[in-house]
Copies of this chain bind each other. A is one copy, B any other.
């Protein structure tokens, strides 16, 4: 995730955030909605659709101008935004939020400048809208082209990091969409202040402020209404911990773009260079253990079990707990026996499950049985084995001789990402501007009638 001020490349932290007060309770962001939640959503959705239709026809330069205007307004309003953030922080302190949550919630001048720069970076990305996917001329002379058009209305539901409102909203606008955003209740004041700056940027560029809307309150019933707003919202992107994503995936009637788990594997093949394996696997697990691309299970080809020992000792010495299969158990007394549940667990901590397998096919079978179709890697010097693994694992991202921690839209050169999807429909893997578009068929004729 490029341009984000928080230390959070691809956050997949366990959710501790509160998804808002129960229905009917007053929210910290304002009075509870008076109208029934579905009626509130219908009104917001209609305004979003109208704004989306305008955005869809807005040239690239104008959209980029709006984003630069947002960044400027964020800088100009820094005082007010930081003040709003201070009130969120004070409320968080009162509620006894964890230090990790408080850190995600916090803005300071440097982080705020990072938010502004992130939006400017998005404004410089190539515009996917209008790109011609393919063309064909039919024997009857019809000329048929497929072109990219914006998706429409994107719903964003996020938790404690206030910058997501700015970051995700900017991506939506650049791809010609309207965004309907539900910030975490604990970040309501900060998100509202950021949103005001975004509206200023939109209006200064002559675009509708409705292109980025916040829900009118943190009333939890509005989240439910968002999730069933079929026809009003084209796709919902949950941005936060597992608790949020699981709720959204379970309840949503609208399509969801997300991943629930990142149970990533690194497989060290018999033909791996031992030094490379030692470096990559250590990085894949330990560089940052809390992100979705962190390796959770290490698979070791039986013939190299001994050669991999230095890696296991590195990990132990770095404080990583190793939960291993029975055969490996004797290698070091600090290791413990893995249970069946370990193969299906995303730790997001310095814990690694380790298993011996017999060759690449057993590794592929393990990944497909226990993985979450996120990111899985093979380390081998044998190109044939590598290609067998790349083709065989049913993962959004399959890697050869690289750290799974590279699973990130920024690292992939997409400039920014709205998230990583492990779904199979529409978009898969890191999703950036292109994933926020759909297509349209244009048929140009000269009077053809169908026989």
Contacts and interface: CB of A to CB of B under 8 A. Distances in A.
A443 B398 contact: yes
Interface in A393-451: 394-403, 405-406, 411-413, 424-426, 428-430, 438-450
Interface residues of A, number: 59
A392 B443 contact: no
B396 A57 contact: no
Given A425-B426, A441-B396, A411 B138 contact: yes
Interface stretch (A111-119, A275-283, A306-314): A275-283
A401 B279 contact: no
A56 interface: yes
Interface in A267-298: 273, 276, 279-280, 283-284, 287
Nearest to A364: B53
A368 interface: yes
Interface of A: 53, 56-57, 136, 138, 142, 144, 146, 151-152, 234-235, 255, 273, 276, 279-280, 283-284, 287, 368, 386, 390-392, 394-403, 405-406, 411-413, 424-426, 428-430, 438-450
Contacts of A273: 447
A441 B425 contact: no
Given A57-B391, A438-B424, A445 B396 contact: no
5 contacts: A398-B440, A401-B447, A412-B443, A425-B425, A425-B426
Given A142-B402, A447-B276, A449-B279, A412 B425 contact: no
B405 A443 contact: no
Given A138-B413, A428-B440, A394 B448 contact: no
A424 B152 contact: yes
Contact of A448 (B53, B401, B438, B444): B401
Contacts of A440: 395-398, 428-429
A83 B26 CA distance: 68
A403 B234 contact: no
B445 A136 contact: no
Contacts of A403: 448-450
Contacts of A368: 53
Contacts of A405: 449-450
A276 B446 CA distance: 9
Contacts of A395: 440
Contacts of A449: 279-280, 283-284, 287, 402-403, 405
Contact of A428 (B401, B430, B438, B446): B438
Contacts of A284: 449
Contact of A443 (B255, B400, B438): B400
Contacts of A402: 142, 443-445, 447-449
Contacts of A397: 440-441, 443
Nearest to A56: B394
A235 B411 CA distance: 30
Given A144-B412, A395-B440, 9 more contacts: A144-B413, A151-B425, A399-B443, A402-B445, A403-B448, A403-B450, A406-B448, A426-B426, A430-B441
